[in-house]
Amino acid sequence: MTHPAFYYDFGSPYAYLAAERIEAVLGPVDWRPVFLVGVFKATGRRSWVYTDDAGHEWAEIERRLADRGLPPIALCPDWAARLVPSSTPARSTLMAQRVARVAVEHERIAEFSRGMYRAVFQRGADLTDPATVLDVSDAAGLPSAEAARAIEDPARQEEVRAATADAVEAGVRGVPTVVVGGEVFWGDDQLEDIAKTLRRDS
């Protein structure tokens, strides 16, 4: 049986919310990290962080965290400025995405992804700091030397680009997105509807 495809990026708090519960709701999924900036460029969209709705969205995220017994968001200092609409440049997840390709190869992508989310959103770690990414990589059981090489490896960047292009082709316009049998579900709040679809089609 083909598992649902779960598309996400490490800088998305909504994708973090989904990652914390997706397998409890849906069972096994195919973890597919994508570079959200590339998705936005391909689809002509931008993050809600830069809209007038940003304050409302952050409040909704905090509400969902509390409802699920998760700790409040902890952001590194320059991310904290994004709690209100701002023109602050996004924190690039590209470094983490490169190392994620190593995690995919070693079948440790779920462990690496959950570790990245918890480092960024629970401990306030800086995802653009190589030390953050490599600490998570080590904890996930990835080969240290291979992960360190991936940070600057152009071949890994090409793999990220290809994975992101494949996601756009599959219908991904934002994260978190789950694709089940060609049907596209976008949003952390869609997981229960996806579970109904899986039961219907089983």
Q: Enter the tokens of residue 191.
A: 């997981």
Band of residue 85 on the pLDDT scale cut at 50, 70, 90: very low
- The answer to whether 151 and 128 have CB atoms below 8 angstroms apart is no
CA atoms within 13 A on the CB side of 173: 9
Q: Enter the tokens of residue 134.
A: 């490599």
Q: Residue 193 has what pLDDT?
A: 92
pLDDT in tens, 96-105: 999 999 999 9
Q: Enter the tokens of residue 83.
A: 């709690």
Give the Cα separation of 31 and 157 in Å (integer). 18
Across the chain, the runs of DSSP E, i.e. the strands, are 5-8, 30-33, 177-180, 183-186
Which residue, chain included where needed, has tokens 């998705």? Answer: 39
> Is the pLDDT reported for residue 81 higher than 80?
no
Superfamily of structural domain 5-201? Glutaredoxin (3.40.30.10)
* Mean residue pLDDT across the chain: 91
| Helix, strand, or coil (residue 38) | helix
Average pLDDT over residues 119-141: 95
Displacement of CA 202 from its chain's centroid (Å): 27
Band of residue 78 on the pLDDT scale cut at 50, 70, 90: low
